[in-house]
Amino acid sequence: MSKPQLRAVKGIPHGPAGQYGSQVAMALSDTIDRIRSGVFHIVCLDDYGNRIASGTAFSSYGYLITNSHVAKVPAGCTVWIRREGDGQNDGFRIKGQKFRFRQKSASDENNYDFSILEIPEVTQRDNSHSFTMRTPDSYRVGQSVAFLGYPFEHQNLSCHSGIISSFYRSGPANVLQLDASVNVSNSGGPLFDIETGDVIGIITRKATGLTRIFDDLREAIKKNIAIVEASTKMGGVNLMGIDPNAAFITSQNQMLHTIAEIERQANVGIGYAFSIKHLMDDNLIYSRL
């Protein structure tokens, strides 16, 4: 009895049962080894060197690319742009105000949510990979993709893989919905083809499925605080040396902080990326394609 003919899919040959998945994983590992040096960590530090916010960026066509909402750093902070393996004295540091001046083009988060920065001190580092962009027009629902970034406070580069679960429009933007775990600080990272390493999208946000509930709860607590603060202005109450209004406000603020932490950690494995086509259409990038 003759063996069935095995067909190659997108350059990855089929093998015996169960082998296809391992070959895909191997292709992804090889791709990551080749492109990981082009992914950077944008960290905002306060005057004491403490992290106050962070995001991800990647190098492409001589520019540093990230989300617009990641690039909106406080003017007084220090922006530390680092790569995996950099120590505290490595990477590139620049004051927030000067960092803003390095932005050459952008689209705000209500449109295409990207920022194009000219920072040769970063993009021209030795052995830095420069990503090629490719429109996702030929991609289909169910196709495997992956993205790289620096989630949470991690200083190590992380990879998440999954599939494209949907294509749709949100306002002017073409959105790729992902069945993959996007977390805080992944924003701005490259969504890429697992074989070629070409960027097809820019990671923009995650979804928790609880966003409306968190927003409603947060709004209710803020209203409670406002009511108590208004009553306090008309005269305080002191019980055994304790101001109950002040104690209530403190507890409510602690609840707001707890909600923010729960929301930050919550993840149901859904994320979103904006099509890289929006970036490719920008005059700065278009002139270099």
In the prediction, which pLDDT does 12 show?
44
In the prediction, which pLDDT does 2 show?
41
- The domain total for the chain is 2
pLDDT tens, position by position, 140-186: 999 999 999 998 777 899 999 999 999 999 889 999 999 988 888 89
In the prediction, which pLDDT does 200 show?
98
In a domain, 109, yes or no: yes
In the prediction, which pLDDT does 87 show?
92
Q: What is the dihedral of CA 102, 105, 108, 111, to 10 degrees?
A: -160
Burial of 228 (C-beta count, 10 Å sphere; 0-12/13-18/19+):
middle
Q: What is the pLDDT along the chain (289 residues), one digit of tens a residue?
A: 444 333 344 444 444 445 556 666 778 999 999 999 999 999 999 999 999 999 999 999 999 999 999 999 999 999 999 999 999 999 999 999 999 999 999 999 889 999 999 999 999 999 999 999 999 999 999 999 999 999 877 789 999 999 999 999 988 999 999 998 888 889 999 999 999 999 999 999 755 444 566 677 778 788 888 877 777 766 655 555 567 777 777 788 777 767 665 655 555 568 899 999 999 999 999 999 9
In a domain, 83, yes or no: yes
In the prediction, which pLDDT does 266 show?
55
Report the CATH number that the domain containing residue 76 is assigned in CATH. Answer: 2.40.10
In the prediction, which pLDDT does 213 show?
63
Q: Which of 123, 157, 192 is the last residue of a domain?
A: 123
Q: Which of 99, 123, 147 is the last residue of a domain?
A: 123
In a domain, 153, yes or no: no
* CA gap 106, 63 in Å, rounded: 12
In a domain, 234, yes or no: yes
The contacts found for 27-31 with CB under 8 angstroms, 24 or more apart, are 27/194, 27/195, 28/146, 28/159, 28/161, 28/194, 31/146, 31/192, 31/193, 31/194, 31/195, 31/196, 31/197
In a domain, 252, yes or no: yes
In a domain, 222, yes or no: yes
In a domain, 178, yes or no: no
In a domain, 67, yes or no: yes
For residue 62, what are the domain limits?
38-123
Q: Name the pTM for this structure.
A: 0.76
* CA gap 240, 100 in Å, rounded: 52
Q: What is the dihedral of CA 197, 192, 156, 272, to 10 degrees?
A: 180
In the prediction, which pLDDT does 205 show?
72
Q: Which of 123, 146, 175 is the last residue of a domain?
A: 123
In the prediction, which pLDDT does 11 show?
44
In the prediction, which pLDDT does 60 show?
98
